[in-house]
Amino acid sequence: MADYFGIVGLTLLAIGWLIELWAVIKTKKAQVPLNFAVLYCAGSLLLTLHSLELGDAVFTVLNGFAMLIALVNIAVCVFFPGKGRKNSKSA
């Protein structure tokens, strides 16, 4: 039964991230500061590797999606600088 909770949770998060991914690509505006995206990407990569070692498919996919979103935000920040990007100094 716990696997079903994990799969449903993963599905809901993935849908939310796909909506976010679409918005970032469409507007070419990163929703997070670059320094946050880099740290988030690195952390997600390490968690993806850890979940692969554990053999946990749900967390592998979950962290892989998180890393993908962070990579897209990094790419937008790098290739479309100043295009409405939130920077780390604005609050």
Name all domains of the chain by residue range, CATH numbers in brackets.
Answer: 2-79 (1.20.1280.290)
pLDDT at 91 over 50: no
pLDDT score of 58 more than 70 = yes
- pLDDT range class, residue 32, cuts 50, 70, 90: confident
Helix axes 2-27, 57-79, angle to 10 degrees: 10
HSE value, Cβ hemisphere, 13 Å, CA-based, for 32: 17
Q: Output the pTM of the full model.
A: 0.75
Q: What angle do CA 37, 71, 91 make, to 5 degrees?
A: 25
| Distance separating alpha carbons of residues 46 and 43, to the nearest angstrom | 5
